[in-house]
Amino acid sequence: MNRGANRGGLHWSRSLRFRLLAVTVAGLTVAVVLAGLVLSGLFREHVQRQFEAALVQQLDQVTARLEFDAQGQPGIAAQALSDPRWLKPYSGLYWQVDAMAPDGRGRAGVLRSRSLWDTSLTLQVDALADGAVHVHEVAGPQGAPLLVLERTVRAEGTDAARWRLIVAADLQATQAATAQFTRVLALSLAALLVLLAAAAWAQVAVGLKPLQALQRGLQDVQQARTTRLQGAYPAEMQPLVDDFNAVLARNAEVVERARTQAGNLAHALKTPLSVLENAACAPAPRDGAALAASVREQVQVARRHIDWHLARSRVAASAHLPGQRTALEPVVGGLVRVMNKVHAGRGVDITVALPDAPLFFAGEAQDLQEMLGNLLDNACKWAQSTVRLQAQVLGGQPPQMVVSVEDDGPGIGAAQRAQAVERGVRLDETVPGTGLGLAIVQDLAALYGGRLDLEPADLGGLRVVLVLPAALETA
């Protein structure tokens, strides 16, 4: 399958740039359309109110010029009206007086303006209170749309006679102005939308530019041109870059550790292999016991080195895994029973002092057994009669567990303590061992972020202080 073709085919739907632009343009489009509708409606309503207000003034003028004779018949002197459009046929401004019967029906066009010429305005029957003004839209002369205002009046001294005054004006000019405004507004908003979309595209391009720099940096790391991400990144991306560089540093550290471990193991096995090779090449002794003892000793040394490096590798892989916890008391109890059996012939008394509250090691039980087992075994080998193990927890973040193992043996001088934790160094060849015990403990503790300290003991011998990360007790 062509991965490049597949990636290109899905590029538009999986592109962050496309998603940002699509959402931005969609939001801008909705906002511009709503703004256009609102502005157009407001302009139309404003023009309509202004037009209606002007027509109310015309209706007031017609009402003021309306007079009644002795018989109660209405009359309006055309010359008394100020607007010349009243006299021009089909000028677009009209007035009319209708006689209204008590049942609401009436006779249209009793009086009308000259601008209506030979036509009259026909309105539906409308129940009007005296003096109230109603507004309608009807078709006028030549089918032109008209805005109509009507009002009823009564002649003085008569209760039954009611007259409807009508004033109408052509809406075509108003509608044309509204349409022109809507067209100009639509073109303006469309141009604004294009400019905003271009600005959004520029914003997205500038905002995503650091991602391109990050991609180039990753390619440089992948192609081994650099070992970490270089350059300055925005504040929002810098934590990601720092974390990625930390991962790269961690991987480099693991690789270097593995390379060092392999070299150390190879170097450590050279001595026993050379001894075995020399023993094999030497003339066969008459008594094979010495050869067998030498072979067993070198095999034990080689196995000890291998176990040590395997333990380091295991701890290096699991030391920083979250959620690990091992109870201290069961591990110490098991080791004390083992040491009492192994060193039963020497009569060493092992005392343990643990706090009442349970202590937990933030790591694997096998690693804790490896470290404490080496310390107890080493203390029992050198002790004259007493070995003491104590433990406590130090507060802080993160919390730490301190385990001390001391004996009443000869102890170690201050100048020799640094040598005691070196691999393969044995300060006294008369005591069996490989010289790896304290070195193993120190390396394992370091992998967990702890440490190993050697101090003079109150019992007179050596006190080994092991500091390890502690795990909090769960509820």
**Local mean pLDDT, 10-residue blocks, the chain (475 residues):** 46 76 91 94 92 89 82 76 85 86 70 86 75 84 88 72 86 91 94 93 86 83 81 82 83 70 63 67 65 68 67 56 79 92 88 91 87 90 92 84 92 71 47 57 85 88 91 66
H/E stretch holding 353: strand 349-353
Under 8 Å between Cβ of 271 and 301: yes
Identify the domain boundary among 281, 315, 349. Answer: 315
Q: Looking at the domain assignment, is residue 442 inside a domain?
A: yes
Write down the pLDDT at residue 234. Answer: 82
369 and 452, same domain (yes or no):
yes
Write down the pLDDT at residue 196. Answer: 93
Write down the pLDDT at residue 432. Answer: 45
Find residue 67's DSSP bridge partners.
75
Instruction: Tell me whether residue 169 is exposed, middle or buried, using C-beta atoms within 10 angstroms of its C-beta: 0 to 12, 13 to 18, 19 or more.
Output: buried
What is the number of domains present in the chain?
3
Identify the domain boundary among 152, 175, 198. Answer: 175
- Give dist(CA 311, CA 317) in Å, integer: 10
Q: Which domain holds residue 292?
A: 241-315
- Give dist(CA 304, CA 207) in Å, integer: 58
275 and 338, same domain (yes or no):
no
133 and 89, same domain (yes or no):
yes
- Give dist(CA 201, CA 69) in Å, integer: 77
Q: Looking at the domain assignment, is residue 402 inside a domain?
A: yes
345 and 387, same domain (yes or no):
yes
Contacts 24+ apart (CB under 8 A), 440-445: 440/308, 440/311, 440/370, 440/371, 440/374, 441/370, 441/371, 441/374, 441/375, 441/466, 443/308, 443/312, 444/311, 444/312, 444/315, 444/367, 444/370, 444/371, 445/371
305 and 344, same domain (yes or no):
no
447 and 363, same domain (yes or no):
yes
